Amino acid sequence: MSPIPRGIRNHNPGNIDRTAERWQGMAADQSSDPRFVVFIGPVWGLRALVKVLLSYQRKYNLRTPAAIIGRWAPPVENDTGAYARQVAKALGVLPGDQIDLQDPATLACIVPAIVAHENGQQPYPETLIRQAVALALE
């Protein structure tokens, strides 16, 4: 049996780095991971993932899978090109095509693709992802 990936174990499937930011649903005790945020449940980690994506479009005008993933997973630590292609494929677009992250259906497609890439698996049901998207868009 393989170990549970860190992002799944931390309820942080996007592997969001810990900063001074206090996320909704963030666990009070962060001592179990020195680098990544730990959430109290997966819906909160998924919501945070969506919030970060929304900020990329709102604050930085990133509108393509290539640009979004380029910021999410910089080439210093990642094969950003392969990651962007995987996400674009899940969305049914090319890496350079524009997407609208205000669209809940688009978010419901991009989130599982990111989770799968970050963790080597995507264990969450569509209903949980849609719940997280709705919470993020409130």
> What does the pLDDT read at residue 1?
56
CA distances from 82 to 52, 112, 116, 121, 135 (A): 20, 16, 13, 16, 29
Residue 85 lies in a domain: yes
- The answer to which of 2-6, 38-42, 80-84, 109-113 has the lowest mean pLDDT is 2-6
User: What share of the chain in percent tops pLDDT 90?
Assistant: 94
Residue 80 lies in a domain: yes
Q: Residue 2: pLDDT band by 50, 70, 90 thresholds?
A: low
Residues 6+ apart with CB under 8 A from 47: 24, 25, 132, 135, 136
What DSSP element (H or E) covers 70? helix 65-72
Give the total number of structural domains in the chain.
Answer: 1
Residue 1 lies in a domain: no
Residue 45 contacts residue 118 (beta carbons within 8 Å): no
For 55-78, the pLDDT digits (tens) are 999 999 999 999 999 999 988 889
Residue 71 lies in a domain: yes
Burial classification of residue 26, based on how many CB atoms lie within 10 Å of its CB (0-12 exposed, 13-18 middle, 19 or more buried)? buried
Which residues form the domain of 55? 6-137
Tokens standing for residue 30: 């962060």
Rounded to two decimals, what is the model's pTM? 0.95
Cα–Cα distance for residue pair 121/112, rounded to 1 Å: 9
For 79-93, the pLDDT digits (tens) are 999 999 999 999 999
